[in-house]
Chains A and B, each alone.
Chain A
Amino acid sequence: MAVRSHIAGIDSPGALQQALRAAQYLAEPQLAIAAYLALALGKPILLEGQPGVGKTEGARALGAVLGRRVIRLQCYEGIDAAAALYEWNYPRQLLAIRQAESAAFNVYGPDFLLMRPLLQALRDPTNTLLLIDEIDRADHEFEAFLLEFLSDFSISIPEIGTERAVEPPIVVLTSNRTRELHEALRRRCVYHWIDYPQPDIEAQIVMVRASSVAEATASAVVRAVGQLRAEPLVKPPGVAETVEWAEAATLLHHQGATWPNAFLQAIGVALKDHDDLQYIQPRLAALVPGDAL
């Protein structure tokens, strides 16, 4: 396994953390360590965590830091190799056959190849970052198929031959942990569990992401969200919801709503489940005290 201690000018976890901060992604030191190790060891990084903690955003920020185009493969139940690797453009092939009439031509030429995310990343590993998003949604068979891809970084196309990456592409996998991934897949990756950020970090994230939000508003929203996450909710608010709630409340405040009514009126941005809203409604005012602002 080739070890690269310098990748795009990044030579330590601290440097990566700084670079991610410059890309407006506030990573905790543990995440920076895991991401640095993945880059240095040439392994994929597997980010697991609750929905909305910033896994996909982390991958995008990593792509921005490294100056690479992010190619995203969104997983879903039933995803297969054709959706992930390549497909032949059959309608175009049919048209070409009719147009060519009796003239000979290569029906499996590059013009007819539809490259899907894995093949795109394989052909251009130095300029791309492959994001395999929500792998836990995919079937076990697709997970097994990925094992092969992540081991060899090669693909066999019967009509063309074997395509192999000139260097291991940077791969980020994310999972919401709705199911356990197979040990064999985890073993091939550098792993990091992203938790909800600490309140001070989350307040900073709100400030970075929503420049119109005042510091006191950000702190109050983060406190309220922290309390909401401690409740047995079907869908606890993620970091994105925190940012949006702060932005929405600030917008309503600018239009004349008073604190804390602005927060209460914008609660639909943070809680997006009817049962959750009904459950929390009686105590909502206590979560966002007006004197906190």
Chain B
Amino acid sequence: MTAPKEIGPLLAFATALRRAAFPVAPDQTIGFLQAVELLGPRGIEDIRQAGLALFAIPPQRVAEYDAVFRAVFFGQTIAAPAGTTEDDTDVMEVTGAEDQAEIADDTRESGPEASRSDAEGTRLIGVSEDAALARFSAEARTRLPRRKVIRREKARSGDRLDLRRSMRSAARFDGDVTSLTYRRRKSRQRRIVFLIDVSGSMQDHSAPALRMAHKLVQSVDHAEAFSIGTRLTRLTPALKLKAEGAALARASTAITDFDRGTRLGDALWAYLGVPRYASLARGAWVVVFSDGLERDRPERLEAATDRLARMAWRVTWLTPLGAPGRFNPETEGLKAIAPHLDALEGAPDLAALTAHLLTYRPGPTVPTGPSQF
């Protein structure tokens, strides 16, 4: 094995990768050291190749990997990576353990709900919104998408005979098959990740969307809510509070980028850059409620959406700019991401938003390879 002095830069490289939001586990580092030793190494390229293979660097992050590699082994300045980490502070999380008193004392008027009392909020919201939310609460558990799990359960009818059970039953009657039992795959409610755009252009729509997010988190077992604008904020712990007013007040307090600009690409990359957040999207239905008015380059938003689409079960983008139903994008950002979405529809009000969630029926999966579209 290589002497400890010589492996210093290699260990530093693994640490630097971790800092750049690459998920590097200790056993991967050990494998990397062994791989470098196996290859000689005959040159610096061997070390690079060993890292690519053992740290499992996906093709879209090779440029970032190379930047870290050059920084460690050639002392070059590292450019800001595309994905951001929790340490980069563009990520906020509301901790569910905060004191109620602390919220009451917090008088920051960072969001539309923050400075309003529960009663005021209720007065401002129309009856039709309440009706839509009530319907959503009542029907969410049964009508939101479910997924089949690998386990099967005994059933009167199903797609497969329960041969084990049938055989054991037959064994009791000297091999005579007297009854057949079936098995079918169990189902479980599919996780929903709800991303709400809280930028200035969504001023009139973000508050109702937050109400719906609260109902969503309250109604189903697997739901996550985040706000996106110029930063990413996890709202789920706040929305777990049963009382709507308290939940929205806490969520609004946490959202410090209400009514500000829009950097959707950055916010989505921030989401993808935190492994525990990104893992929530894996196999989930990701619903983004945003007008898609991106100030940054659309390529960045497109790349983030593409990555999100690869991880998620389906990605739906709902925009308040269009009437309910299929939406034809006009903005650069929405045009760029449209091919990566499973649905792009208008949802001008809460009724349309809830109706879409309750009635969504997915089409077949469309592979989104790098060379497509």
Residues A141 and B282 in contact, CB atoms below 8 Å apart: no
Interface residues of B in 30-68 (CB under 8 A from A): 30-31, 34-35, 38-39, 46, 49-50, 52-59
From known contacts A13-B39, A178-B310, infer whether A187 and B27 are also in contact, taking CB-CB under 8 Å: yes
Interface residues of B in 335-373 (CB under 8 A from A): 365, 367-373
Q: What's the least CB distance linking A173 to chain B, in Å?
A: 11
Tell me how many residues of B have a C-beta within 8 Å of chain A.
51
Interface-lining segment among A208-216, A231-239, A248-256: A231-239
From known contacts A5-B38, A141-B149, A232-B373, infer whether A191 and B31 are also in contact, taking CB-CB under 8 Å: no
User: Does A272 lie at the interface of the complex (its beta carbon under 8 Å from any beta carbon of B)?
Assistant: no
Task: Give the chain B neighbours of A107 by CB distance below 8 A.
Answer: 171
Residues B39 and A233 in contact, CB atoms below 8 Å apart: no
A13 and B25 alpha carbons, distance in the complex (Å): 25
Residues A140 and B283 in contact, CB atoms below 8 Å apart: yes
Residues B30 and A182 in contact, CB atoms below 8 Å apart: no
Q: What's the least CB distance linking B337 to chain A, in Å?
A: 15
Interface-lining segment among A36-44, A61-69, A117-125, A258-266: A36-44
Residues B31 and A1 in contact, CB atoms below 8 Å apart: yes
Q: Which of B38, B171, B175 contacts A37 (CB 8 A)?
A: B38
Interface residues of B in 70-120 (CB under 8 A from A): none
User: Does A164 lie at the interface of the complex (its beta carbon under 8 Å from any beta carbon of B)?
Assistant: no
Residues B367 and A81 in contact, CB atoms below 8 Å apart: no
Interface residues of A in 102-121 (CB under 8 A from B): 107
Residue interface bits A178-212, CB-to-B below 8 A is 1, else 0:
11101100110111110100000000000000000
Task: Give the chain B neighbours of A189 by CB distance below 8 A.
Answer: 56
Interface-lining segment among A18-26, A90-98, A217-225, A281-289: A90-98
Task: Give the chain B neighbours of A233 by CB distance below 8 A.
Answer: 371-372
Residues B53 and A97 in contact, CB atoms below 8 Å apart: no
User: Does B325 lie at the interface of the complex (its beta carbon under 8 Å from any beta carbon of A)?
Assistant: no
Q: What's the least CB distance linking A5 to chain B, in Å?
A: 6
User: Does A279 lie at the interface of the complex (its beta carbon under 8 Å from any beta carbon of B)?
Assistant: no
From known contacts A5-B38, A37-B38, A179-B310, infer whether A50 and B371 are also in contact, taking CB-CB under 8 Å: yes
From known contacts A78-B185, A192-B53, infer whether A229 and B310 are also in contact, taking CB-CB under 8 Å: no
Residues B49 and A30 in contact, CB atoms below 8 Å apart: yes
Chain A binding surface, main DSSP class:
mixed
Residues B56 and A191 in contact, CB atoms below 8 Å apart: yes
Q: Which of A91, A101, A180 contacts B310 (CB 8 A)?
A: A180
A78 and B148 alpha carbons, distance in the complex (Å): 8
Q: What's the least CB distance linking A42 to chain B, in Å?
A: 10
Q: Which of A3, A50, A80, A193 contacts B38 (CB 8 A)?
A: A3
Q: What's the least CB distance linking A134 to chain B, in Å?
A: 11
Interface residues of A in 128-177 (CB under 8 A from B): 139-142, 145, 176-177
Residues A41 and B56 in contact, CB atoms below 8 Å apart: no
Closest residue on chain B to residue A235 by CB atoms: B372
A195 and B372 alpha carbons, distance in the complex (Å): 14
Q: What's the least CB distance linking A240 to chain B, in Å?
A: 16
Give the top 9 A-B pairs by smallest Cβ distance, nearest first.
A191-B56, A90-B163, A98-B175, A141-B150, A186-B56, A178-B367, A34-B53, A97-B175, A193-B59
List 24 A–B pairs whose Cβ atoms lie within 8 Å, in order of A's numbering. Answer: A3-B34, A30-B49, A33-B50, A34-B53, A37-B35, A37-B39, A41-B34, A43-B31, A50-B370, A78-B185, A88-B163, A94-B167, A139-B148, A140-B282, A176-B369, A178-B365, A180-B58, A180-B307, A187-B23, A189-B56, A190-B53, A191-B53, A191-B56, A232-B372
